[in-house]
Amino acid sequence: MKLKKVHSPIFVLLGLFFILQSCEKQQTIPTTAKTKTAYEIYIDRAEKYYGTDQFDSAFYYYNKIKSNSDLNKDQDKILYSLLKMAAIQQIQGDYVSSEATATETIPLFQKTTDPYYKIAIYNSLGINYKELFDFDNAILYYNKALDFTKDELTKTILKNNIAGIYMDKADYQKAIAILLPLSQQKDVINNPEHYARVLGNLGSSYFKTGDSKSLNCLNQSLAIRKKINDDFGMVAAYLNLSEYYKETNPASSYQYAELAYEKATKVNNANDRLETLALLIHNSSGNQSKKHSEDYLRINDSINKVKQKAKNQFAKIKYDSKKERDENLQLKAQKVANALELEKQKNKNLISYFLIFSGILVTTFLYYFWKAKNKRAKVKATYDTEIRISKKLHDELANDVYHAMAFAETQDLSSSQNKELLLNNLDTIYSRTRNISKENSIIETGLQFVPNLKEMMATFNTNEINILVNGLDTINWNALESTKKITLYRVLQELLVNMKKHSKCSLVVIAFKENDKNLQIDYSDNGLGADISQINIKNGLQNVENRILAIKGSITFDSKSNKGFKVSITFPL
C-alpha cells in the first residue's frame, strides 16, 4: 500500500477563483431590487444545492444553465457550469464522465477567457487522469494550468499535485525536488492548510527513500492539522503514520489506522475508510480481521452502487436536457406554421372586434337605461317616504299638538295638576316625534348596528307591553351584508309598529338563531291575531314581505283570531 498523498481538488481552485474575483463582482451588483432572470434563479439554486452536497439537484441546474445559454454570448456561463458539473462528477467518483465534461470546455477557450477558468479546468483534468492512472496526461494538464497561473498560492497547489503524480509513479526523488522548495516558501508556511499538505507529501516521499527526516515531517503535518481542526487532513496524516509504522511497530500502525478510520467516518469519506480498513486488516487477526474485512466489502459495495447511481443520474439529466432541446427545435418549427395560421385568423378577428364593439354599445345603453330606472325608483321611494312621514305627522302628531294647545288655552296652568298633565302630553308628543325621526333616519350597519337595533326594539317596551329578545348576541353580525342589516332593521320596526297599532298584546318574543348558513328570526305575540288572508291588506304587512323577498329570503305568517300573531323569517347570511 502506498502512503496517502494529498492532492488539491478542483473546488479548492474554484474557491480561490471567487475570492480573487469578488471585488470585481461586487461592483456589478445592482443597488436597487429587480426581478431575477432565469439564469439568476438557476445559478442561485445550483449554488445552494452544491453547497449542501445535494449534487444531483445541483448538476441538474448547472446543466439547465448550460442548455439555455447562447454559445456566442454566454461563454462564461457555459464554462462555469461545465466546470461545476465536472467537479460534481469527480466528487462522485465518475472520473471518465468528469474528464469528458471538462474536455467540452477546451474548444470554448479564447484569448479573452478568464485564466482562472483555464486553471480550474486543467487542474480538474489533471486529477481525473491521475485517478484513471494516466499519469503522463495528469502531469501534462497540471503543467498547462501552471502556465496560466500568476498567483503564488495557486502555483503551490498545482506543484503539490504534480509532486503527488511523481509519487504515484514511484519517482520519489522528483517529488522531493518539488516539495522541499515548497516547504521553505514563506507563503506556504503562512498558510497552515497548504503547509500541512506539502509536509505530508514530503514526509511520505522521504519514507519511501529511507530518509530519517520522514517521521518529523509526518508528525509536524499532523500537529498542524490538529491545530486548525482539519478533519479531512487528519485522515491523511494518520494514514501516513500508520503506513510508516506498519512493518516496524504494528501496534502503533493499528492505533493510527483506527484514528484515521474514526476521522474518515466523521467526515463521511468512504474511500479513506476503505484505505484505513485495509491497514486495520493487515494489522489484525481472527475475528477482528474478519470484522474489518466484512466492513471493507460492505463499504466498497456501497461506493460502487453510489458511483453507478450517480453516473446513471447524470447521464439521464444530460439525456433529458438534449431531448428538451430537440423538442424546443420542433416547437420553433411549429411556431412558423402557427404564424401562417394566425394570418388567416386576422380576418376572423375583425369580425369578432365588430361584434365586441356592438356588444359594448348595447351593454352601455342597458347600463344607463337601468341606471335611469333605478334613479326613478329612488325618487319614487323618496316621494313615498315623504308621504308616509306627512301622514304620520298628520295622524299621530297633529291631533296631539292641537289638544295640547287647546288644553293650554282653556285650563289654569297655575294648577300643578294641569301643569303636570300638559308636560306629560308634551313628552308624549316629543317621544312620537323622535320615533318618526328614527324610523326614517340612516341606519348604522357597523359596530353600532346591534346597540341601535336593541334601542329601537326597546322603544316599544311599555308598562303594558313586554318585549323579550333571545339570541341576538349569538349571531355573527360581521358576516351579514349592510343591505341585509338595513332590511332586517326595517322589517322588525314595521312588525313592531304593526303590533302597537293592531295587536293589543301584552307580550312579544323575538328570537334570533343561525340555521345552516341562514339567519332565522321568529316573531310572536299574544295579541288578537287576524285572518291569514287579510293580513297583508288589513295590517299593511305587504312591505315586510317585499323587503324579505328582495334579499332572497322567505317569510311565513301564522295567525288566528284571538290566538296571537307569529312570523318566521329566513334569509342567507
Q: State the SS3 of 227-251.
A: HCCCHHHHHHHHHHHHHHCCCCCHH
What would the mean pLDDT of 62-72 be, rounded to a whole number?
Answer: 87
C-alpha cell belonging to residue 100: 469528458
C-alpha cell belonging to residue 278: 485495509
What would the mean pLDDT of 436-460 be, rounded to a whole number?
Answer: 83
CA distance 324 to 188: 48
Indicate whether 32 pLDDT > 50.
no
Query: Which pLDDT value is given to residue 341?
Result: 74
What would the mean pLDDT of 158-174 be, rounded to a whole number?
Answer: 92
Higher pLDDT, 3 or 281: 281
Indicate whether 443 pLDDT > 50.
yes
Indicate whether 206 pLDDT > 90.
yes
DSSP 129-196: HHHTT-HHHHHHHHHHHHHT---HHHHHHHHHHHHHHHHHTT-HHHHHHHHHHHHT-HHHHT-HHHHH
Higher pLDDT, 267 or 258: 258
Indicate whether 4 pLDDT > 70.
no
Query: Which pLDDT value is given to residue 10?
Result: 47
CB-count burial class (<10 Å; 0-12, 13-18, 19+) for 358: exposed
Query: Which pLDDT value is given to residue 521?
Result: 95
CB-count burial class (<10 Å; 0-12, 13-18, 19+) for 217: buried
Indicate whether 448 pLDDT > 60.
yes
Tell me which residue of 154, 200, 151, 146 sits closest to 175, measured CA to CA: 200
Contact (Cβ atoms closer than 8 angstroms) between residue 196 and residue 179 = no
What would the mean pLDDT of 337-353 be, rounded to a whole number?
Answer: 77
- Element holding 525 (H helix, E strand): strand 518-525
Indicate whether 360 pLDDT > 60.
yes
**Chain segment 282-323, per-residue pLDDT in tens:** 666 666 666 667 666 766 665 556 556 655 665 666 556 555
Reported confidence tier of residue 258, pLDDT bands at 50, 70, 90: confident
Q: What are phi and psi of 467, to 5 degrees?
A: -110, 120
DSSP 290-337: HHHHHHHHHHHHHHHHHHHHHHHHHHHHHHHHHHHHHHHHHHHHHHHH
- The helix/strand/coil state of 180 is helix
Q: What mean pLDDT value characterizes the chain?
A: 80
Indicate whether 7 pLDDT > 60.
no
Look at strands 507-514 and 554-559 and give their pairing.
unpaired
CA distance 240 to 243: 5
State what percent of residues in the chain have pLDDT above 90.
28
Higher pLDDT, 68 or 436: 68
Query: Which pLDDT value is given to residue 372?
Result: 74
Indicate whether 395 pLDDT > 70.
no
Indicate whether 158 pLDDT > 70.
yes
Tell me which residue of 507, 503, 508 sits closest to 528, measured CA to CA: 503
Q: Tell me the helix, strand and coil percentages in the chain, rounded to 5.
A: 75, 5, 20
Contact (Cβ atoms closer than 8 angstroms) between residue 548 and residue 555 = yes
Contact (Cβ atoms closer than 8 angstroms) between residue 185 and residue 156 = yes
- What residues have CB less than 8 Å from 237, skipping those under 6 apart? 196, 200, 218, 221, 222, 225
Contact (Cβ atoms closer than 8 angstroms) between residue 20 and residue 151 = yes
Look at strands 466-470 and 507-514 and give their pairing.
parallel
The residues that bridge with 555 in the sheet, in sequence order, are 569
State what percent of residues in the chain have pLDDT above 70.
75
